[in-house]
Amino acid sequence: MSTTSKSPKRVAQSAYHVAKDALSEYSHQFSPRKFTQPQIFVCLVLKIFFKTDYRGIVAILNDCPDLCKTFNLSIIPHFTTLQKASKRLLCLNIADQLLESTVRVTNEGKEIKLAAIDSTGLEAGHTSRYFVRRKRSKQLKSYEETYYRRWPKLAIACDCSNHMILSAITTRGPSVDINQFEKIMTPAINRYIIEHVLADAGYDSESNHRFARDTNNIRSTIPPKHGRPTTKPFLGKYRRLMQQEFDKEIFGQRWQVETVFSMIKRNQGEALLSKSDCAQNREMMLKVLTHNIAVILLVNELFYRAYLTPLIPIYDSG
């Protein structure tokens, strides 16, 4: 399930459906009421879809009136309106509501049989890697790999069955993953019933196993590779269980979360246009929401083929 919709009209319609379910029409009773909050959110999603900036998406909307009709937009907002609205619509509380709304469309039962968590880094600019290597070669007469000291980091928990992102947190890298397990899982646990969670060795700790198994009754599978290699039995109950009875077959599904990161970077780009840390965090969250909306379209298409009844209304150009 790595192919998503390339139709901006269908993406806009799906985003509009999700936003109307999670957002109120207007942010304040004295709002000018030129456009609604769901319409503004669709504009932000299309900005990510077209891999452009605020000025760019305004120009695209001006040139595509048929696209605007998809979500009933009659007045094109100014690019500064979109920039200011992103601070309000992509704050943590509202972004979580939108994220939950995207998952609700495809998973009304809230039961997740298999989830996986991981994190990835994104580019904080568009500097050419060849240029960096070439510049370094003039100084040292040979190529040398150059790494950024800090970069935007996105950690997610996803449903392995359909690649929907269940929860996401935005941080700065480099940073260890072992202490982020509870932060990533808590929002997903509060919303859904998760039976089994998979994570790589970066999350290996006895406390993470206890949080999943004892506190939340979730089966956890994490390779016991943290610390120095040894043949002695581990002291922790669950790490020792992983050492003795590690299920390699089920752990193979952990690569589904890698597929999710690949989908985000291929379809939306791995470089962020924002400059400040807060703006980059909002942009990463918008990428997560756009990914889920694109996955909704794919699930909707498969459901429609099987049952002839779409999960959300299908756009009709007529």
pLDDT in tens, 16-36: 999 999 999 998 888 888 999
Going by pLDDT thresholds of 50, 70 and 90, the confidence category of residue 15 is very high
Query: Where are the strands (E) in 98-205, listed by range?
Result: 111-112, 115-121, 151-159, 165-173, 193-194, 196-198
Q: Alpha-carbon distance 304 to 311, whole Å?
A: 8
Q: What pLDDT, on the 0 to 100 scale, is given for residue 125? A: 72
Query: Where are the strands (E) in the chain, listed by range?
Result: 111-112, 115-121, 151-159, 165-173, 193-194, 196-198, 219-221
Going by pLDDT thresholds of 50, 70 and 90, the confidence category of residue 229 is confident
* pLDDT at residue 70 tops 90: yes
pLDDT in tens, 187-199: 999 999 999 999 9
Higher pLDDT, residue 5 or 220: 220
* pLDDT at residue 214 tops 90: yes
Domains of the chain (ranges, CATH numbers) = 8-89+297-307 (no CATH), 94-124+150-285 (3.30.420.10)
Rg, Å, the chain Cα set? 21
Q: What pLDDT, on the 0 to 100 scale, is given for residue 150? A: 80
Q: What pLDDT, on the 0 to 100 scale, is given for residue 316? A: 47
Long-range contacts of 240-249 (CB under 8 A, 24+ apart): 242/204, 242/209, 246/221, 247/221
Percent of the chain with pLDDT over 90: 66
